[in-house]
Amino acid sequence: MQLGDARSGKLTANFVGFGRSLRRAGVRIDSARLALAVDAVQAVGLGAKDDVSAALEAVLVSREQDRMVFREVFDAYFRDPEIAHKLLAQMLPTAEGKAEPSKRRPRVREALSPPRAPQALAKPKAEDQKLELDAAMTASDLQRLQHADFNALSATEYHLVARLARDIALPIPLVEQRRTRPGERGARMHWPGVLRQAARHGGELAVLAKLMRRQKPLPLLVLVDVSGSMERYARLLLAYLHAATQGQGVRRDVFAFGTQLTDLTGAFRLADTDAMLAAAGEQIADFAGGTQLGESLKTLRTEHGRRLVGRRTLVLLITDGLDTGEPAALAQELDWLRRSCRRLLWLNPLLRFDGYAPLARGAAQLHTRAHAMLAVHNLSKLEDLAASLAALLRR
């Protein structure tokens, strides 16, 4: 069976162009998958566009979060309905057309846009030769990215913002311990130190050493929602928290929850953030699925309850509150979590909307039991997170 025009070779060229568009949109595509896609299309035939789309999706898409991206790219790339019976033979190689770009995802619009041709090098003027600037992005672009929602970024902008987020500091508040150490201030005298100093000064009490309590960062428990609505926020916030708390001596217990609870503490022990994300991606089996926060918290209570250290743990619950479980069960588990920790902070990306109100069943339970609700949907809110944590713990 021959597909397309054998003399011009449109099938191969169009498949390569389609694969490049998917790769630019963030879908993992290689030459082996493209070759397998040709075999799949030959098996289903060219009679119906839906059959071709289903065959290509089954072969080219391996992650759940890439399905909607694939379908948007396919609809835009193979959009001519008049030649559906010769779809792969006559498909258009570019993405220019009448489709409304505002209805597509930013990463799809960027993937389908034609590559920019390199501008010709103009001869610099005499005054321009005095300046040597290295500006990958203008100040206005960086300012826009500071306040841009993570879910509204294109693929290139998302990767840039993810790198910028790793440089934002998050000092964990310190608390006093029972153990003491010698210091300049304290309520108790350090008599061995006082006597040693007196022996050095002929018996005179020149220095009065004191005992002060040791300080240690609060234990941190992170619960990250990995459902479909939290797809982009989960990955970026995991990378941010890993990089921001690295090297502080903080005890970090990290769990991902969707339809089940996944322990990511072992992955968080890796020093490299990219390696941590890769290890976490292999462990999470329910990524981009539903949300069962009540059942996940029950698993946390029954199997990992000792992770909460003496009611001193700072809990960061990252979710949009769109829970599909029973509100009564969720309320019971949230009551236990609130009693067992120092502070329960709800980091909610939906606060990006003006006038947001927690009207969903799960969000209503979270709103009444969390100590505070903070926004984490852009870089500026991440920069304010440390100040918000310190203020809440001082109350």
Please check the confidence at residue 136 and state whether its pLDDT lies above 50: no
Predicted confidence at residue 104, as pLDDT, reads: 59
224-228, 252-256, 285-289: least confident range: 285-289
Average pLDDT over residues 286-298: 89
Predicted confidence at residue 313, as pLDDT, reads: 92
Written as six digits, the tokens of 286 are 């329910």
Q: Alpha-carbon distance 167 to 243, whole Å?
A: 8
Q: Identify the residue with better confidence: 122 or 18.
A: 18
Q: Alpha-carbon distance 112 to 107, whole Å?
A: 9
Q: How confident is the model at residue 293 (pLDDT cuts 50, 70, 90)?
A: very high
Predicted confidence at residue 224, as pLDDT, reads: 96
Domains and CATH numbers, the chain: 10-111 (no CATH), 177-216 (no CATH), 218-394 (3.40.50.410)
Give tens-digit pLDDT for 322-332: 998 899 999 99
Q: Identify the residue with better confidence: 63 or 61.
A: 61
Please check the confidence at residue 125 and state whether its pLDDT lies above 60: no
% of the chain residues with pLDDT over 70: 80
Predicted confidence at residue 111, as pLDDT, reads: 62
Q: How confident is the model at residue 30 (pLDDT cuts 50, 70, 90)?
A: confident
Q: Identify the residue with better confidence: 133 or 217.
A: 217
Mean of the per-residue pLDDT values for the chain?
Answer: 79
Q: Identify the residue with better confidence: 193 or 342.
A: 342
Q: How confident is the model at residue 143 (pLDDT cuts 50, 70, 90)?
A: confident
Q: How confident is the model at residue 177 (pLDDT cuts 50, 70, 90)?
A: confident
What single-letter amino acid sits at 79?
A: R
Q: Alpha-carbon distance 296 to 311, whole Å?
A: 20
Query: What 3-state DSSP class applies to 189?
Result: strand
* 219, 175 contact by CB (below 8 A): no
Q: Please, what sign has the CA dihedral across residues 245, 249, 250, 255?
A: positive
Average pLDDT over residues 6-20: 63
Predicted confidence at residue 13, as pLDDT, reads: 65
Q: b or e along 105-120 (b: 16 or more beta carbons within 10 Å of the residue's beta carbon)?
A: bbbbbbbbeeeeeeee
Please check the confidence at residue 182 and state whether its pLDDT lies above 60: yes
pTM for the whole thing? 0.63
8-12, 83-87, 98-102, 329-333: least confident range: 83-87
Q: Alpha-carbon distance 268 to 246, whole Å?
A: 9
Please check the confidence at residue 369 and state whether its pLDDT lies above 50: yes
